[in-house]
Structure 1
Amino acid sequence: MEDILRPIYQERASQAITLGVLMVEKKQKSGYSTDSFDDILLIIVKEAEQPLFIKHYSYHDKKAAMHIITQTQLQEWILLGTNRKIFEWIQDAKVLFDRNDYVENLKVELREFPFNGRKIKMGLEFAKLIRRYVDGKALFENRQFLDAYNHVVHSLHHLARLAVIENGLHPELTVWHQVKQIEPEIFKLYEELICSEETIEKRLELLFLASEFLIHSRTNIGASHILDVLNEKEYWSFNEIMSEKELSLYSVDMAVLLEYLIEKHLVEVVNIETKGHGVFHRNYRATKKLS
């Protein structure tokens, strides 16, 4: 289909804002990575009115999709992991146009996975892990076992992704295939949760006991990024934390993560008097540096 799409991507390649053009072909008998399309035309641009623009094409019995994505949106996807297909697309794609080696440098960056980027991604996964784990445990204690089960499955996914990142790799769509080789203990925990013949209550009870250690052992590395940022000031209000560019990435998971870190004595509360008698502004500071 490349010949059919050539006029389309050549027109885009001639534009100064275009950084790279890639062609992703559907793998034999499997279309899950290309959303069932035969081809994905991925065009990366410096800037655009829309961060993502998608157009669909058909030719005879084939179909293709063109994704025009800004450099900023691409970096956000890579950092936050909100579009895991993008890693596979960049790694497996045929490069049709590459301005000033932008695509080649991007491939190298993804392959080498700089430590600072890893630290942020580990922090974000750890925050999601804690949110799901805490909510799941609360539901379990209220005997809402099916809802607790759903949260625990998600928490194990975040634990698995955290383990993969910790080992210097990007989590792929087949994350459990990665984890089985890298961290078989986590894989076994997941397998026992979904395959055991025990009651859901018993499965959850055993999992909470087993996963407590796995989470605790990753607390320092998972909290490293947030503590690095918190150490830049004596103390922070919650609003200051959420307004800080890097910390705002933690979004709705931040409050739960802070409470967990207070419990683990990595963060402490600093109370500042208000005009109201006996009422204090609740601020936060890191108790130690981990890196």
Structure 2
Amino acid sequence: MEHVLRPIYQERASHPDTLGVILINKRDDATNMTDTFDAVLLIIVKEGEQPIFTKHYLYGETKMVMHIVTEKRLRKWLFIGSNRKLVDWIFYGKVLFDRNEFLYKLRFELQEFPFYGRKIKTGIQFSKLIRRYLEGKEFFERGEYLDAYNHVVDSLHHLGRLSVIDSGLYPEVTVWSQVKKIEPAVYKLYEELVMSNETLEKRLELLFLASEFLINSRTHDGAQHILEVMLTRASWTIQELHDHEELSYYSTDLEVFVEYLIDKGYIIVEPVIAKNETIFHRNYCVDRRFVENEYGV
């Protein structure tokens, strides 16, 4: 496959903006790893007119895809964990071009998994867990058990990814095989949800009780990143939090997460008078006394 794609990637490699080129061939035991294509050509560039540019190719009966991705979008995917195949592609794909050892350093970075990287990924996954758990519980309390079930499954996936991240690894596509080895208790919860002979209502009831305990036990680590960012200023509006480069990765989960941390005592609501004296702006700051007790900062 490499010889077929050589003219394409060599042309791209000659561009000064191109950082690296990786070839991923389809494996018989993992056809979905390449999104059913026979080969994936991943090209990472410093900057581009579009964050993602894709082309499909045909060579006889062989179908191929080329993805050109900016470094910024690549790192966003790695932080958020929204493109789990990407980690497998970077680790196991064949490097065809590597400018100034960009891909070598990236692989090393992923393998070492710096502590700071773990904190932001933990925060993002924890915020997603909170949203799915709270929404699922709301459906459950309304008696809408199938919708509650979908949300609980998603929340358990985020809980599983947190277990993998906490162990210093990157969540792979086959995350549950990782969780089974790393944190059997979380794997058991997932197993009980999908395989138990209990009624759906009973399964959900037990899962919400167990999940609440696990969520509370992880709040300390899950909140660390956002609190460290917020401690850099005395007070924040919600828009300022959304606009912060790192907190923007939390996306739509940010506001639910902030409300959760208010409820848990980590964040204080600070009323600020608006133009209309009967209405106040709602600003946010970290309860430093609480954080000192929790983190010793």
Shift of 1:43: 1.3
From the superposition, tell whether residues 275 and 73 of structure 1 become closer, same or farther in structure 2 (CA, over 3 Å).
closer
| Corresponding residue SS for 1:83 | coil
2:148 is matched with which residue?
148
Please give the alpha-carbon distance, in whole angstroms, between the structure 2 residues aligned to 1:93 and 1:74. 15
Please give the alpha-carbon distance, in whole angstroms, between the structure 2 residues aligned to 1:104 and 1:111. 11
Matched, 1:118 2:113: no
Please give the alpha-carbon distance, in whole angstroms, between the structure 1 residues aligned to 2:9 and 2:262. 53
Q: Which amino acid aligns with 1:43?
A: I
8 A Cα contact 2:21 2:43, kept in partner: yes
Normalising by structure 2, report the TM-score: 0.94
Shift of 1:5: 1.3
Shift of 1:18: 1.5
RMSD across aligned C-alpha pairs, in angstroms?
1.5
Shift of 1:281: 2.2
| Corresponding residue SS for 2:153 | helix
Matched, 1:82 2:82: yes
Q: State which drifts further: 211-220 or 231-240.
A: 231-240
Alignment of 1:40-119 (within 5 A): 40-119=40-119
State the identity as a percent: 56
8 A Cα contact 2:76 2:249, kept in partner: no
2:32 is matched with which residue?
32
Shift of 1:203: 0.6
Q: Which amino acid aligns with 1:210?
A: A
Please give the alpha-carbon distance, in whole angstroms, between the structure 1 residues aligned to 2:222 and 2:83. 21
Please give the alpha-carbon distance, in whole angstroms, between the structure 2 residues aligned to 1:163 and 1:6. 40
1:215 is matched with which residue?
215
1:204 is matched with which residue?
204
Shift of 1:115: 1.1
> Where does the alignment leave 5 or more consecutive residues of structure 1 unmatched?
none
Alignment of 1:122-271 (within 5 A): 122-271=122-271
Shift of 1:276: 4.2
CA deviation string 1:208-228 (max 9, x = no partner)? 111111111100100000110
| Corresponding residue SS for 2:181 | helix
Q: State which drifts further: 270-279 or 184-193.
A: 270-279
Moved beyond 6 Å, runs of 4+: none
From the superposition, tell whether residues 50 and 272 of structure 1 become closer, same or farther in structure 2 (CA, over 3 Å).
closer
Please give the alpha-carbon distance, in whole angstroms, between the structure 2 residues aligned to 1:68 and 1:244. 26
Shift of 1:269: 1.5
Q: State which drifts further: 43-52 or 179-188.
A: 43-52
Q: State which drifts further: 158-167 or 58-67.
A: 58-67
Please give the alpha-carbon distance, in whole angstroms, between the structure 2 residues aligned to 1:60 and 1:29. 23
